[in-house]
Structure 1
Amino acid sequence: MHKSALPQEGTETFQDQIRIVLVETSHSGNIGAVARAMKNMGLGNLWLVRPASFPDEASYARAAGAADVLDHARVVSSLEEALADCVLVMGTSARGRKVPWPVCAPPEAAVAAADHAGSGPVALVFGRENSGLTNDELQRCHYHIHIPSNPDYSSLNLAMAVQVMCYELRMHYLRSLEDGQASPYLKPMARPGDEGWDVPPARVDEVEGFFGHLEQVLIDVDFHRRENPRQLMTRLRRLFQRARLDQMEINILRGILTAVQKAAGARGNSKSTEAGSTVAGQDNGDV
């Protein structure tokens, strides 16, 4: 049917203590999709309560590269068995209850799971695709997790719901790491100078040289007049300063400006015997 994946690491970590429990899943492909969602976020502890069909080809096909999660999945005959040794149980619910129950959103549920994981297994329980968890099953939970989806279309696919919770758990786990360990995952890379950017940020003198070159080219092509500047260069400065250019980008832009000057000069020479004035050194991208 399938080739078993390599064994998972046996050490008990935060991720190992988080138990994803699926109750009476009717479509085995959804089990595979859940396994994939779990492995994406570093989780691998899957329990299945009376699945309609498992294991089978559909579940492994949908799991893609997460076959190891399915290989180690526990199949049990009752929810009681899946929860017996847990220190905290949280069940997903989209419905309001006549008797109010403690409810939390996914981020708060992730914090609670992390807080209790050091004391023992924590179960996140997901119900049937068509009807969710029964009232009796929800009453076995310490908390209900409500994913605040669109009230006009609130039904989530099973794997989607699991992915939301696994993502929140992953983010909480990464934030708990030391800065050096978490930075490759959480630290943004948005501009030159950020860790991972491939080219150093442009220096002030390089940017000023570009602005001078740009203004001269705009004059050369009769787009800009120094005697009547209006706010053209001010707005162009604001545009390019907002971009936070790196050194390579400055070189590319100045190369484009030099090519424009050459092209404009060639056209001018073909139409007039008057020699156009040029700024010394512009052919090399200097101003």
Structure 2
Amino acid sequence: MALGKARVAGTLAPPMVAPPTSPRPGLLRDACLVLVRTQGPVNLGMVARLCGNLAIDDLRLVSPLCEVDSPEARMFSTHSRDFMLAAPRFATLAEAVADCGLVVGTSARMRDPLSGPPLLPEDLPALVRDRPAKRWAMVFGNEADGLSDDEMRCCQAFVRLRTFGANYSYNLSHAVAIILYALATGEPLPRDEIQPDGASRDEVDHLKRYWLHTLERFDYFRRTDKERFTPQLEQLFNRLHLSTHDVQMLWGMFAQMHYVHFGERAAPEHDQTGNTRRERGPNPAP
């Protein structure tokens, strides 16, 4: 059917809109949008429609609390229903951003002083330039509770939207629209070609677990509280722009320590890629 106005039951239906075919604009080129525990079907539908407006083709849903195919979500998705229904769903935020080299969260209130000061939308071009990644994520939490402490630890940076009235937070769909429009219309800053892409969160998470395993075997936590140390180590990794090569180098250092002291190069639970494996080095010379 040709684009234009279609007559339905004697009335004029809204013009049909062709799906976007142009590349994603501006800073959204390598971005995915992640919604965590969304509870409002209207918000979900509006965000899906916004993805159609801004040519975003990577929407990920983490444990949605509403029915994705509800009448309200369908009504407000406007020409993006199929896209919304096809969005992959994940049990946790960590799973949803496992392939992302940069994860940016949004929060009205910063509850962890180790996270550092929040950014403003206008700071994002510099962040994307300084921490390049093959794929990066923009994360929005639940309408009422935002992101949990565990979910916040998945993020390397945070954006806060300023408000100027009595209400200190925005509606979810409004916040998504404000930030993504700023990204779509913002000009990417020149990239330092020497700066490599960041390692995926999955790679960094396996490195973290390997470090903790190594420290535990060396009895490091005999006098250090592991529960306090672990989030501090996570925040250290979040502040660093580790490339895949960096992760491999650090992994190799600890693998050698394992081999010298325990006769094995990798942690018994997993190898560098997270696969279950037990790798032993050659037997020491007599």
TM-score interval, smaller chain: 0.5 to 0.7
- State the shift of 1:16 in Å: 5.1
**Residue type of the alignment partner of 1:80:** A
Other-structure match for 1:32: 45
**For 1:110 and 1:61, how far apart are their aligned partners in 2?**
34
Residues paired across the two proteins, number: 171
Other-structure match for 1:281: none
**Residue type of the alignment partner of 2:122:** P
- State the shift of 1:81 in Å: 1.1
**For 1:146 and 1:81, how far apart are their aligned partners in 2?**
24
1:120-160 CA distance string (max 9 Å, x none): 11111111111111122112110011111126211211000
**For 1:169 and 1:130, how far apart are their aligned partners in 2?**
25
CA RMSD of aligned residues (A): 2.9
1:34-73 CA distance string (max 9 Å, x none): 1122332332311000112223332121111333531441
**Residue type of the alignment partner of 2:124:** A
Q: How does 1:96-107 map to 2 (within 5 A)?
A: 96-102=110-116, 103-107=118-122
**For 2:19 and 2:53, how far apart are their aligned partners in 1?**
17
Report the structure number with the largest CA radius of gyration: 1
Higher helix share goes to which structure? 1
Other-structure match for 2:138: 124
**For 1:171 and 1:7, how far apart are their aligned partners in 2?**
19
**Residue type of the alignment partner of 1:99:** P
Q: How does 1:36-75 map to 2 (within 5 A)?
A: 36-52=49-65, 53-75=67-89
TM-score by length of 1: 0.52
Q: How does 1:181-260 map to 2 (within 5 A)?
A: none
Q: Does the alignment pair 1:91 with 2:98?
A: no
Alpha carbons 2:41, 2:73 under 8 Å: kept: yes
TM-score by length of 2: 0.53
Alpha carbons 2:20, 2:55 under 8 Å: kept: no
**Residue type of the alignment partner of 1:161:** A
Runs of 4+ in 1 over 3 A off after TM superposition: 5-16, 113-117, 173-176
Could you list the runs of 5+ residues in structure 1 that have no partner in the other structure?
177-287
**Residue type of the alignment partner of 1:104:** L
Q: Cα gap change, 1:25/1:104 in structure 2, threshold over 3 Å: closer, same or farther?
A: same
Q: Does the alignment pair 1:109 with 2:109?
A: no
Q: What secondary structure sits across from 1:104 in the alignment?
A: coil
Alpha carbons 1:105, 1:145 under 8 Å: kept: yes
How high is the sequence identity, in percent, across the aligned residues? 29
Could you list the runs of 5+ residues in structure 2 that have no partner in the other structure?
1-16, 191-286
**For 1:139 and 1:109, how far apart are their aligned partners in 2?**
19
